[in-house]
């Protein structure tokens, strides 16, 4: 083989966000993260994904932690590594669309507290829902990465992905991520798609996938050979299954090739040793279900992401209708088609999944429609790649006029109003944003924080860092 020019693949480490979100319901605490940061900082990662996604909600709701405080502590520890977050466009990290002033302020505060790279996606791939966040990230001098949710279906051709990529580049994004949340991208398809994307745009291309269907590591290999610049991996104790391929495995795979990362396996082994007991404990306590560690090729048949499958099973269990599992699996692609064939990713996956369950249990399709289904069919989430089924839409919204503009254009600025509502709890500007996204959960957390302070022994309170040992 002729001497190839060196083109080391860059790696984004997901263990502090997507890996524990995918495997142990986002339950890793800040205290568990901090002791290993020093070693992680020496690896030479392109970035560490450590914030956004479900971490914000889970920190407040289950861990009784301030997500902003977590970000500041991580920033203090990572001296050489860029910090990355996942951001749901106009939904920020919540489940509804927010007014532009909230989106702008959230981006500003994320960057001020330590985020370097913001990966922005929209569940419907409606780029109008990303414009505000991209502009805000560029204004704050952060790296704005737009993620295209990868899925399969008649509408999702190479032409579709290439035209999306070109529009993203024109929009002013710094890079593109192909976000394959269900592990649907197979190896040779990755070769041809990445090759065409690299020819179509000049900005870097990153690939994100999950191991759910069992092909992810091979897909990464083919993508990197085709010119992919960055891949997302997770340290081995929290890799595979519904998480990402293992960091050490990909590092070893490219060793001695033009794509060699140059990472030190000894250092990676020490980091893995740190996380392994956490994994063992999660298994022992039942937090890590061995089911999510297997390969489920049904993902490719029904295009259902792993997290959505486990949701379905629990919904059917509650209704004592587990025997209807395969019926629901067959109904999902039909509902998805009626709803304009959106990619199945938060929140569209939950909306389509729940509607499919209702259709099967009621024995009649769309006899009952959830309010989220109605919102989708009214256009409140934005535009789908294909039109809605007109009859289903009529059933949902009657003679109401559907929304065709960018949904956020209909929203009044809401930051001032939100601040007025929660002013009694405000201890830092960021609290306004926590409340904006999760009013009830944040209020509970603020009350908890208040209560902890009244119990604190002032002689040991580290007020400078806002740490209050109880």
The residue assigned the tokens 């590591």 is 217
Contact criterion met (CB below 8 Å) for 328 and 356: yes
Q: Identify the H or E element spanning 147.
A: strand 143-149
Blockwise average pLDDT, block size 10, the chain, 470 residues:
81 97 93 98 98 96 97 98 97 93 98 98 97 98 98 95 98 98 95 98 98 95 98 97 96 98 98 98 91 80 73 84 90 95 90 94 95 96 96 96 97 98 98 98 97 72 49
State how beta strands 83-87 and 117-121 pair.
parallel
Q: Return the DSSP state at 9.
A: P
Buried b (16+ CB within 10 A) or exposed e, 120-136: bbbbbbbbbbbbbbbbb
What distance in Å separates the CA atoms of residue 432 and residue 186, rounded to the nearest whole number?
A: 43
Tokens of 178: 């192909």
Domains and CATH numbers, the chain: 10-285 (3.20.20.70), 304-404 (1.10.472.90)
Identify the three-state secondary structure at position 77: helix
Burial state string for 190-210 with b = 16 or more CB within 10 A and e = fewer than 16: bbebbbebbebbeebbbbbbb
pLDDT of 469 reads 42
Under DSSP, is residue 40 helix (H, G, I), strand (E, B) or coil?
helix
- DSSP per-residue codes, 324-349: GHHHHHHHHHHHHHHTT-----TTHH
Q: What is the pLDDT of residue 470?
A: 36
Q: How many Å is the maximal CA-CA distance in the chain?
A: 70
State whether residue 20 is helix, strand or coil: helix
pTM for this entry: 0.92
Q: State the DSSP H helix or E strand holding residue 108, giving kind and residue range, or none if neither.
A: helix 100-112
Distance of alpha carbon 429 from alpha carbon 109, whole angstroms: 9
């Amino acid at each position: 083989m002729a001497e190839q020019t060196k083109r080391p693949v860059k790696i984004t480490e997901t263990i502090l966000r997507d890996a524990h979100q995918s495997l142990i319901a986002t339950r890793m605490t800040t205290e568990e993260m901090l002791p290993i940061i020093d070693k992680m900082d020496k690896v030479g990662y392109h970035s560490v994904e450590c914030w956004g996604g479900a971490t914000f909600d889970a920190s407040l709701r289950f861990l009784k932690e301030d997500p902003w405080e977590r970000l500041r502590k991580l920033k203090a520890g990572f001296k050489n590594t860029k910090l990355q977050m996942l951001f749901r466009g106009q939904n920020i990290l919540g489940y509804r669309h927010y007014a532009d002033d909230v989106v702008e302020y959230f981006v500003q505060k994320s960057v001020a507290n330590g985020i370097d790279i913001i990966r922005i996606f929209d569940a419907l791939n409606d780029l109008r829902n990303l414009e505000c966040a991209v502009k805000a990230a560029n204004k704050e001098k952060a790296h704005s990465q737009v993620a295209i949710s990868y899925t399969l279906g008649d509408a999702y051709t190479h032409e579709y992905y290439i035209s999306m990529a070109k529009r993203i580049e024109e929009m002013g994004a710094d890079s593109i991520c192909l976000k394959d949340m269900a592990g649907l991208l197979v190896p040779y398809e990755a070769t041809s798609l990445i090759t065409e994307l690299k020819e179509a745009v000049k900005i870097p291309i990153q690939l994100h996938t999950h191991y759910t269907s069992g092909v992810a590591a091979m897909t990464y290999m083919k993508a990197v050979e085709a010119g992919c610049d960055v891949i997302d991996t997770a340290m081995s104790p929290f890799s595979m299954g519904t998480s990402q391929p293992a960091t050490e495995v990909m590092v070893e795979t490219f060793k001695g090739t033009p794509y060699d990362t140059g990472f030190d396996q000894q250092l990676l082994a020490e980091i893995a040793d740190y996380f392994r007991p956490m994994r063992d404990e999660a298994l022992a306590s039942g937090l890590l279900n061995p089911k999510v560690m297997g390969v489920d090729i049904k993902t490719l048949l029904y295009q259902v992401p792993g997290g959505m499958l486990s949701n379905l099973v629990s919904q059917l269990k509650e209704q004592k209708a587990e025997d209807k599992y395969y019926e629901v699996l067959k109904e999902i692609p039909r509902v998805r088609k009626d709803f304009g064939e959106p990619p199945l990713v938060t929140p569209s996956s939950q909306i389509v999944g729940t509607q499919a369950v209702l259709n099967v249990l009621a024995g009649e399709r769309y006899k009952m429609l959830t309010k989220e289904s109605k919102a989708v069919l009214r256009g409140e989430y934005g535009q789908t790649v294909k039109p809605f089924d007109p009859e289903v839409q009529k059933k949902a919204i009657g003679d109401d006029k559907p929304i065709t503009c960018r949904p956020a254009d209909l929203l009044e600025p809401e930051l001032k109003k939100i601040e007025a509502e929660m002013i009694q709890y405000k201890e830092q500007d960021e609290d306004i944003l926590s409340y904006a996204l999760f009013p009830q959960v944040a209020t509970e957390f603020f009350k908890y924080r208040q209560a902890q302070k009244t119990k604190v022994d002032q002689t040991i309170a580290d007020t400078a860092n806002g740490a209050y040992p109880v």
